[in-house]
Structure formats: C-alpha cells, structure tokens
Amino acid sequence: MRLALLITPLLLGVWTAQTPPGRAQFDASRLRLGQFRYRTIVKGKDAGGSTISIARSDDGTYRFSNEVTGQFRQSWEAVATSRFEPRTATLGLGQNDDRRRSMSLFYEAGAVSGTATRTDPVKGAQTSQVSARVPGDVVDQRIDWAAVMSTSLSPGQKIAFSVYDPWIGVSRVSGQVGDPETITVPAGSFETRRVVYVIEKSSGTERYEVWVSTQSPRFMVREDFPGGASTELVNR
C-alpha cells in the first residue's frame, strides 16, 4: 500500500525526450493481477487494513488502486503503462475527519496537470492548480512500491528513478535488492526478496522496505514505512 504523508509546495523536474535508462528496468507484466488484502500494524497494534487491486486494461495500461481503512484512511488510483509511465492518478485522504487531501492528475508528454486540494478545520478547502514538467523516469508516487517490484530483482541490483507528488514535487529514489529470505505473515510463509529504497524529498529522506514474492508473477508480502507502520498480506 501507499500511505499518503503530509506534504509541501511544488518543485519542477526536468524532462528528456528520449526514454531514460531507468525506465527500461520496469515491467508491470511481472506483477500478479488481482486483489490483495493487508493488515496494518503500528507498534504491534492493529491500525486498520487495506485492499490493493491491480488490473490490466484492454489498451495495455495497468490500473492500481487501494482502499485503506483505520488510522491511515484513504483511497487512491493510478494508471500507468507497463513501463510505469504515468497516465492518471487520483487521491482521496481523510485523517480524523478534519484534515483531508484530494487530487486529480493527468500526465502527458513530460508534463503533469490537474488539481490538488487540502482541507483543514480552520481554512477550509484550498485547491491549487497543478502544472509542472517531470523527468523522463518519473513514476507517480502512489505506485513507487509496484515499480520497485517490477524490476528484475537480482540480488545486489541498484534501483534509481524519480517520483512525483503534487504537494512535494519531484523527488529522487534510490534502492537496492537484497538476498532471498523467508518471512511469515497472516497469509502464510513466503520466499521473498527484500528491497530497501529511500525517497529524497525536500521535506526529508524517507526509507521504505518491501518484501516481494520470488514466486512469479510477483506480489507484495510486506511493506515497512518510515513512520513505523507495516502492512502484511492477509490473503490474495
């Protein structure tokens, strides 16, 4: 899953007309399609759950969506090509029913446009127009975890690309694939590859860990987030 984080102003990226080397590492056909249910744990306590869906459309694009309940309540959807070239992304987020964010983004020809809204109990809803250039290796931030999972996952492999978020802008991502390891979650025990990656945001560096099934097509078994939350597969 992807938990939306508190975020700040737009930054502009740089676009190159040629497909950058980083884009070729992604292949969404390596991912298992379907619906996957997870539980969220924070400091050993239940914090809700999430349901991720991955589907392939007739036009060859992939649709990723997530419905999150509990402490990190939100919903989002992102559409991208098999190489994770972003097409659209939407987000609806509610925390404690008094602080909400939403967005609707459209990506085309090295640019992103749309709207981003933040609501707080004092100022009410504030909507900003989104208009920015993005790098050729950009992935929408909702699905950075899926992009990482779609690489070759060779032990020791380095991963590098960019992500975009309308409240932060463009951020660089770098990661590395670890050795195989077996982990146990509510859905059972699985052989996995652990991928550690960091996002270098203007607001600070965030570290993520994703355990990906070695079984093909792949699915996410567990993800650890910077704030101490973890999601674990319940069923698939």
Model confidence band, residue 15 (pLDDT cutoffs 50, 70, 90)? very low
Domain that holds residue 142: 21-235
What are all long-range contacts of 187-190, with beta carbons under 8 Å and residues at least 24 apart? 187/221, 187/232, 187/233, 187/234, 187/235, 187/236, 190/214, 190/215, 190/221, 190/233
Q: What is the pLDDT of residues 154-185, one digit of tens each?
A: 999 999 999 999 989 999 999 999 999 999 99
State the pTM of this model.
Answer: 0.86
The answer to whether residue 90 is domain-embedded is yes
Identify which of 88, 77, 84, 234 has the alpha carbon closest to the alpha carbon of residue 173: 84
Q: Is 9 among the domain residues?
A: no
The runs of H, that is alpha helices, within 28-185 are 144-149
**Residue 223 lies inside a defined structural domain of this protein:** yes
**Residue 6 covered by a domain:** no
Task: List, for residues 137-156, the tens digit of each pLDDT value.
Answer: 999 999 999 999 999 999 99
Sequence letter at residue 42: V
Domain count, the chain: 1
- Any domain includes 48: yes
- d(Cα 33, Cα 99) in Å, to the nearest integer? 33
Instruction: Taking residues 118-130, report their average pLDDT.
Output: 82
Q: Are 199 and 171 in contact (CB under 8 A)?
A: yes
DSSP 228: S
